[in-house]
Amino acid sequence: MQKTVISPTDAKIALTEIRRAAAELYRFTEKLTLLKIVHQVAVQTIKATDILQKEIEALSGDKLLDVLESSKSALYLEDMVDSDTMSEFEFIVLPFVKNLEDADLICFLSEITDKVEAKYNAMLGKIHEFNALVKDELE
């Protein structure tokens, strides 16, 4: 079977989609102390995609694959899917919620948590797609 080589355009589109999802999470969590752990992941993801975009800017073929396989930013995106950020976030939020007695406030925090998780999962989905694209090429 002949190996296909990922196109620079495909890689850039996938990275742009990751950055877009990370930016949405960033905006939603910005300046909210309780959401800081998720916000930091969004910041790191934006940085990683920006760096990787610059690293692959003029590359194609095997050189592109080499960078996608060895770049610290690419490795960050690969490791990101195994991180347990949402569990860490819930570990911070749950004790806070347990001490509340106001049902409306508990509902509000639950809704915010659900929205954070949805935005985080959207970003994670884009990272999964990118990692699968790269992995398919490397196998």
CA separation (Å) from 122 to 10, 112, 139?
Answer: 19, 15, 26
Average pLDDT, the chain: 89
Q: Domain 8-138 adopts which CATH fold?
A: Four Helix Bundle (Hemerythrin (Met), subunit A) (1.20.120)
Contact (CB, 8 A) for 129 and 14: yes
Residue 60 has pLDDT above 90, yes or no: no
% pLDDT > 90, the chain? 57
Using the predicted structure, report yes or no on whether residue 3 has a pLDDT greater than 60: no
**High-pLDDT (> 70) share of the chain, %:** 94
Q: What is the pLDDT of residue 21?
A: 98
Q: Spell out the domain ranges in the chain.
A: 8-138
Residue 1: pLDDT band (50, 70, 90) is very low
